[in-house]
Structure 1
Amino acid sequence: MWVVGILAVLWNAGGAFDFAATVTHWEPYMKNFTAEQLDFFYTFPMWQYIIWGFATWGAFIGSILLLTRSKLAFWAFAVSLACTLISMAYSLTLTDAPEGTSNPVFTAAVILIAIFLFAYSLWLTRRGILR
């Protein structure tokens, strides 16, 4: 459980950082994108930012809760998974996304990891490890 928990914290910290840097328009991070990509990111509808925030921060908080053996980790991962699926489904329907803003392999990895963490936390809860 510790290995999965630590890897989950590290992976999800990256997502939480990406979200925070994008929402705050943090220049040292955002300078890696083209003007077209920045315009695309900065014009997301508000609901997309909210869903994205719940997806990333829910997973990060869930990872920390997993390390503390709290069964609230399950609920954090459940919210994160639902929001991840909504966010990714919306992203996949966009036809005006600039080149370089979407990577199907990375998208699949994000979804698979979210499913794994949800299922893993459910399994740990049912075994009585998360309390």
Structure 2
Amino acid sequence: MNSTTKKPTTAFWVIGVIALVWNLIGVMAYIAQAYITDEALAILPEAEQALYRDIPAWATAAFAIGVFAGALGCIVLLMKKKLATSIFTVSLLGILVQMYYNLFQSNAMDVYGPGGMVMPILILVIAIFLVWYSKDLGKRGVLS
């Protein structure tokens, strides 16, 4: 173990905390989707109700892996550990599987239209950034 890690910059802490908040919002979105009540589901338009009802277990699991691994990765990053890169990679894989389902297996694009691509693209870009950023921090000696 390298006991001579470099001191993180203010940007490290800002990025780490913002990324943690982002991923915790993802965790809340997962919980809201996974535990949506019948009453809340009934309020949605019929097309959206069908989207929620038809999600396979593997897509829900991928969503859970993506968001919980992302949040854990942020915590580990803020602890300045290189393990964050591996955890962020697991999160990215979960996101890719979930996005595969959302874009190619479900009819989400028919329901939400082209505007429905904004959030998935943003999620993917941030996940890729976190893998790259943690890897870069490890190379620069900020993570041990």
Cα distance, 1:130 vs structure 2: 1.4
- Asked if 1:116 is matched to 2:129, the reply is yes
The residue number in structure 2 matching 1:14 is 25
Q: Which runs of 4+ in 1 moved over 6 A?
A: none
From the superposition, tell whether residues 70 and 95 of structure 1 become closer, same or farther in structure 2 (CA, over 3 Å): closer
| CA radius of gyration, larger in | 2
C-alpha distance in 1 between matches for 2:92 and 2:137:
17
Q: TM-score normalized by structure 1?
A: 0.86
Q: Partner of 1:11: helix, strand, or coil?
A: helix
Moved more, 119-128 or 30-39: 30-39
- 1:56–1:80 CA contact under 8 A, matched in 2: yes
Q: TM-score normalized by structure 2?
A: 0.79
Task: Give me the CA root mean square deviation.
Answer: 2.3
Gaps of 5+ in 2: 1-11
Q: Partner of 1:44: helix, strand, or coil?
A: coil
From the superposition, tell whether residues 70 and 105 of structure 1 become closer, same or farther in structure 2 (CA, over 3 Å): same
After superposition, what is the alpha-carbon deviation per residue over 1:39-97, rounded to whole angstroms, capped at 9, x for unaligned?
A: 31232111111111101111111111111112221111000111111211221113533
Gaps of 5+ in 1: none
The residue number in structure 2 matching 1:69 is 80
- Asked if 1:34 is matched to 2:45, the reply is yes
C-alpha distance in 2 between matches for 1:95 and 1:66:
34
For 2:117, the aligned partner's letter is P
Residue-pair matches, total:
131
Q: Partner of 1:69: helix, strand, or coil?
A: coil
